[in-house]
Amino acid sequence: MSISIKARKAAGGHDTPALPLEEARARILSAVEPLNGEETVNLHAALHRVLAEPVAAAIDVPAHTNSAMDGYAMRGEDVSEPGSELTLVGESFAGRPFQARVEPGQCIRIMTGAVVPDGTDTVIMQEQAERDGDSVRFTKAAKTGANVRPAGEYLAAGETALKPGRWLTAADLGVLASVGVPQVKVLRKPRVAFFSTGDELKPVGQTLAPGQIHDSNRYTLFGMLTELGVEIEDMGIVPDQREALDEALQKASKCDAVLSTGGASVGDADFVVEALEKLGNVGFWQVAMKPGRPLAFGKIGQAWFFGLPGNPVSAMVTFLQLVRPALVRLAGATPMLPVQMRLPVTGAIRKKPGRREFQRGRFIQDEKGLSVSPFGHQGSGVLRSMSEADCLINLGPEVGDVAAGEDVMVEAFAQPVWNGA
């Protein structure tokens, strides 16, 4: 970096322009490369891990030709017209197949998921059948093949069930189990160290002295990182001292990524960027967004470094916008960038054009459809606004005041984190 961090701080951080958000994200994603290393894990341990190799179905899915309905199985040609009657000779339940062959003129009772027996090709739902002892009369003509799910219809044995690069979801675990695969090869988990900086911070559970606050960022980060499936190393609270910060950064540099919060701004007790400049490389510092301007990105040792702002809302917003996609890429999957939708806003929003602003919002679903309601208190220290919100209203640099009823860009907190397209 040509201009030293000290000089930039002395100028209030405004001597070089803050990066637009898209550029910051593009720079991070082009720098970060997927990790090397694989391991084989059981399905329970595979949740939110990234698949390392294609997984082929070990068996046909479904494994046997089975019924999609509760009803009766027969030859379709035996019920070629309404009112046909067949002799009931047995039953097939899921997991308890009918053992014999069904002959012409016969039918069996069959349940959903039960094996469709030899000699039959069709299932008629029970609502179209009238049973009288051993005789069953069908009110409608059959369509041969109806309500039958052939073996291997979804996946034949040997076919690829899942491709590498997937960030495995709950549904994927179910798919793996259904195709008879109890273990999978996954990429190594990124190891992510994180710490909070600030002389005012006290761990929760300890009494606050005057001027102190509880460290909440390590809890929001713990939650967001755990949801991503990375391995975490909580390094605690680091005071606002260069030596302590240097020591923490050195120690953390053995991980794959390091996240700090606080101390990345232009105050007299903000040493994070200086320390990064001395011990590693500053990729960029400051992003043109509110909240979240004092964000530093760089490298220290083998670790990617993200210096997040200390304000609790800013730390979460920058994590979602910039760190989560980077960690998904590091883990070996293609990140899904924030998914955007345009929705009418329920109330007016005041904003000056010039920089990007994220406001917390709530989805409102009513008889008029979906809209978004801006959360009242938008201060970057108001963590409750994140807890009550379920989305961000993303107001671009060109946007000024917005009137109630106008459309705004909205990004849900809960969205796919990886892109399988």
**Which residue ranges make up the site for Mg ion (CB under 5 A)?**
198, 262-263, 310
CA distances from 68 to 76, 109, 114, 120, 147 (A): 15, 13, 8, 14, 5
120 binds, among Mg ion, ligand AMP, none (CB under 5 to 8 A by kind): none
The sign of the dihedral angle between the CA atoms of 394, 27, 259, 7 is: negative
With contact defined as beta carbons under 8 Å apart, do 404 and 347 qualify? yes
Q: Does 312 bind ligand AMP (CB under 6 A)?
A: yes
Place of tokens 């007790």: 269
Cα-atom radius of gyration of the chain, to the nearest Å? 30
Query: Which of 147, 311, 371, 394 contacts ligand AMP by CB under 6 A?
Result: 311
3-state secondary structure of 104: coil
Nearer to Mg ion, 263 or 312 (CB): 263
Q: DSSP string of 219-280?
A: HHHHHHHHHHT-EEEEEEEE-S-HHHHHHHHHHHTTSSEEEEES--SSSTT--HHHHHHHHS
* Interface with ligand AMP in residues 264-283 (CB under 6 A): 265, 267
Nearer residue to ligand AMP within complex by CB, 78 or 215: 215
In terms of CB distance, is 267 or 416 closer to ligand AMP? 267
Name the residue nearer to ligand AMP (CB basis): 65 or 311. Answer: 311
Q: Are 125 and 147 in contact (CB under 8 A)?
A: yes
Nearer to ligand AMP, 115 or 201 (CB): 201
Which H or E run contains 196?
A: strand 191-197
Is residue 221 near ligand AMP by the rule CB under 6 A? no
Q: Which does 213 bind (CB under 5 to 8 A by kind): Mg ion, ligand AMP, none?
A: ligand AMP
Residue 217 binds what, of ligand AMP, Mg ion, none (CB under 5 to 8 Å, by partner type)?
A: ligand AMP
DSSP3 helix / strand / coil % (the chain, rounded to 5)? 20, 35, 45
CB of 244 to ligand AMP, least distance (A): 14
Pattern 326-365, binding to ligand AMP, x per CB under 6 A? Answer: ----------------------------------------
Nearer to ligand AMP, 197 or 371 (CB): 197
Orientation angle between helical segments 242-252 and 272-279, nearest 10 degrees: 50
Of 68-76, 149-157, 259-267, 411-419, the segment contacting ligand AMP by CB under 6 A is 259-267
Site map 76..115 versus ligand AMP, x via CB under 6 A: ----------------------------------------
Whole-number minimum distance, CB 239 to ligand AMP, in Å? 12
Classify strands 122-125 and 201-202 as parallel, antiparallel or unpaired: unpaired
SS3 at position 24: helix
**CA 139 from centroid of its chain's CA atoms:** 49
Q: Which long-range contacts (C-beta less than 8 Å, at least 24 apart) are formed by 38-42?
A: 38/185, 38/186, 38/187, 38/188, 39/185, 39/186, 39/188, 40/183, 40/184, 40/185, 40/186, 41/183, 41/184, 41/186, 42/182, 42/183
Name the one residue in this structure whose structure tokens are 């970060």. 32
State which of residues 92, 147, 261, 321 lies at the interface with ligand AMP (CB under 6 A): 261
Q: Which is nearer to ligand AMP, 162 or 224 (CB)?
A: 224
| Dihedral angle over CA of 64, 66, 68, 74, nearest 10 | 160
For residue 286, the minimal CB distance to ligand AMP (Å) is 12
| Interacting residue with ligand AMP among 84, 217, 321, 359 (CB under 6 A) | 217
What does the alpha-carbon distance between residue 116 and residue 92 come to, in Å, rounded to a whole number? 8
Asked if 291 touches ligand AMP (CB under 6 A), the answer is no
Q: Which does 215 bind (CB under 5 to 8 A by kind): Mg ion, ligand AMP, none?
A: ligand AMP
261 binds, among ligand AMP, Mg ion, none (CB under 5 to 8 A by kind): ligand AMP
Which of Mg ion, ligand AMP, none does residue 307 bind (CB under 5 to 8 Å by kind)? none
Q: Is 204 in the site for ligand AMP (CB under 6 A)?
A: no
**200 interacts with ligand AMP by CB under 6 A:** yes
201 binds ligand AMP (CB under 6 A): yes
Cβ closer to ligand AMP: 283 or 312?
312
Tokens of 241: 């001292």
Interaction between residue 286 and ligand AMP (CB under 6 A) = no
CB 13 within 8 A of CB 265: yes
Site size for ligand AMP (CB under 6 A): 18
Instruction: Decide whether 342 or 377 has the Cβ nearer to ligand AMP.
Output: 377
Q: Which residues bind ligand AMP (CB under 6 A)?
A: 196, 198, 200-201, 213, 215-217, 261-263, 265, 267, 309-312, 381
